Structure 1
């Protein structure tokens, strides 16, 4: 069996926001690849640039945000600078996004059926009867009971978890090659979160879709993804197979994230939060942006941090934690 082709190739992407306080480097020279049918996690604290990365891929940046350098190749086609009409034809059909707040997808004054059918008709020339059938089938796939009746309901008649299932169903309508999920389970309780994670993973495998799952919680993505990319202050500081990154993190920031997860801390041991706060996007120091919060930092961290490889694992750090475990504090 041949190896999966590269579906998405992001190279040296930088997305900046020009404001009165200066240039905010939300995404600062990141590169990564996503293969067909691959499920990848993009993790980091709030403000690390995860969501802006997703918005950049989909061309959803609002002024003053703009891509200043880099390329985003989807199936070989560079999306940066693509005409708006071509981007609209691609967005939702070949690349879809699931937002953190389902109401960013759903219109409160239109029925669920109307919204789903319009989504189908926006990309495919089919009858309204077929569009309704596809909408009904999509609701059933994500576990919504009595899908025919629910098509006539409105968003306020659904619970938060059900609204998120509807948003997932809309993303699945065209069987896209890639779905970007932007923390879609953050506001849900643990039980509903677990159900949705299971359903999304099942559907991605069933329809041969690639998935980028954005999250601030390493624990959430651990059982979902095959590979993890850790983002801090606009940069990807570590990436590799999920088992390698979780069992032997190479970057002190990754180790700090793991040490702060209750489920991954030995019983009776205190949690070890990362001290301080991430620097503002316009006030990041030269060199490693994590240096002010890292107990390993020295003069070498004040210049551009070196990159390296540990097996399949990539890191960007002057002092990679090659022989430590996640129990070591950052």
Structure 2
């Protein structure tokens, strides 16, 4: 994994990003003042429960939020271009060529009535002037890169003739076709079995290292982040509550929410180990549910579910550093364990 980040060469640099929806005289913020940066070849994991704002963040980064959604940012640079005032024409020039998205459902990418070769050739021709023969060669090579055997034959198939895992590999291949600078992947392996998931994760990591493509991987699965990412951002109720190098955040989480996610994950929970009496312990759970968009409490949104909450938590905490590159948004962060 590439753990070195140079902000000067960031593929994506966004600060103060918010996505709001006007409702009954007020604005509900699905994404609230978040900042992200990703360097070439770097994998950034964005983690959180359903409803935390992860997918809305992804759509905003590709200019896919439609009215009545309102996107604002203090800084929004993508591949060196300032995108805050970009129109749809400018976004079309970037999407598919410089930035691509992989959806959770591959049929968001694939047209069910067109053969795979037709769809991949169209994706190439949208951004490059090459002949059909050369485009077909590029398409077959892209399928081979994501582990699809007998790629020329698969090009003649329709999506319904492929398995779910195969369709997702095709969707990933289409995202890679034009060698984008950044890929945004919105939980693309959630519906796949663990064997296929592991294969795709390994392939994506190798492709990013080989090509220099940056990857934003959105998931609720901390095990995926541990295996894939260089850095991780933990999101709750529209805000980033913790971020830093993945090894640090997972080994020594500073936010109670991050700790709760880890304790409720089988791979990280103490239930995997026997206690002194030889009995196993149950997985921990975070009490309550994430707040709905229109019902988020004032101050720290995690306050109603947090055992460490106090009156101070009626205010919104700022992101503060707990170690170099590791930040937390909490008035009562967990104590770090000294080496």
Q: TM-score range by the shorter chain?
A: over 0.9
Structure 2 CA distance for aligned equivalents of residues 274 and 299 of structure 1: 20
Q: CA deviation at 1:44?
A: 0.3
Aligned: 1:135 with 2:139: yes
Report the equivalent of 1:276.
288
**Paired residue secondary structure (2:287):** coil
Query: 2:15 aligned with 1:11, yes or no?
Result: yes
Contact 1:22 1:282 survives alignment (8 Å) = no
Do the aligned residues in 2 keep the contact of 1:112 with 1:152 (CA within 8 Å)? yes
Alpha-carbon distance in 2 for matches of 1:21, 1:101: 35
Aligned pair partner of 1:240 in 244, 266, 269: 244
1:328 matched residue in structure 2: none
For the aligned residues, what is the CA RMSD? 1.6
Q: Could you tell me whether the CA contact under 8 Å between 1:29 and 1:70 is conserved in 2?
A: no
Q: Is the 8 A contact 1:14 1:70 kept in 2?
A: no
1:62 to 2:75 alignment: no
- Counterpart in the other structure of 2:334: 321
Query: Are 1:292 and 2:290 counterparts?
Result: no
Tell me, what secondary structure is at the counterpart of 2:123?
helix
Output the CA distance in 1 between the equivalents of 2:219 and 2:266: 17
Q: How does 1:89-108 map to 2 (within 5 A)?
A: 89-108=93-112
Which residues of structure 2 form unaligned runs of 5+?
274-279
Asked if 1:33 is matched to 2:33, the reply is no
Q: Corresponding residue for 1:179? A: 183
CA contact (8 A) 2:30 2:56 kept: yes
Select 1:302's aligned residue among 295, 307, 314: 314
Aligned equivalents of 1:3, 1:282: Cα separation in 2: 36
SS at match of 1:123: coil
- Report the TM-score, using the length of structure 1 for normalisation: 0.95
1:296 counterpart SS class: coil
Aligned residue pair count: 324
> Residue 158 of structure 1 corresponds to which residue in structure 2?
162
Query: 1:173, 1:281 → 2: CA distance?
Result: 36
In the superposition, relative to structure 1, how do residues 29 and 220 fare at CA in structure 2: closer, same or farther (>3 Å)? same
Deviation sequence 1:134-158 (CA, Å, 0-9, x none):
1111011111111111111000000
1:25-82 deviations in Å (ceiling 9; x for gaps):
1100111211121111000001101111111010011222120443321133222221
- Deviation at 1:83? 1.7
Mapped to 2, the partners of 1:133 and 1:151 lie a distance apart of 10
**Which of 275-284 and 74-83 deviates more?**
74-83
SS class of match (1:262)? coil
Partners of 2:112 and 2:159 within 8 A in 1 = yes
Q: Deviations over 1:101-123 (max 9, x none)?
A: 00000000000000000000000
Shift of 1:20: 5.5
The whole-number CA distance in structure 1 between the counterparts of 2:318 and 2:65 is 30
TM-score, normalization: structure 2?
A: 0.92
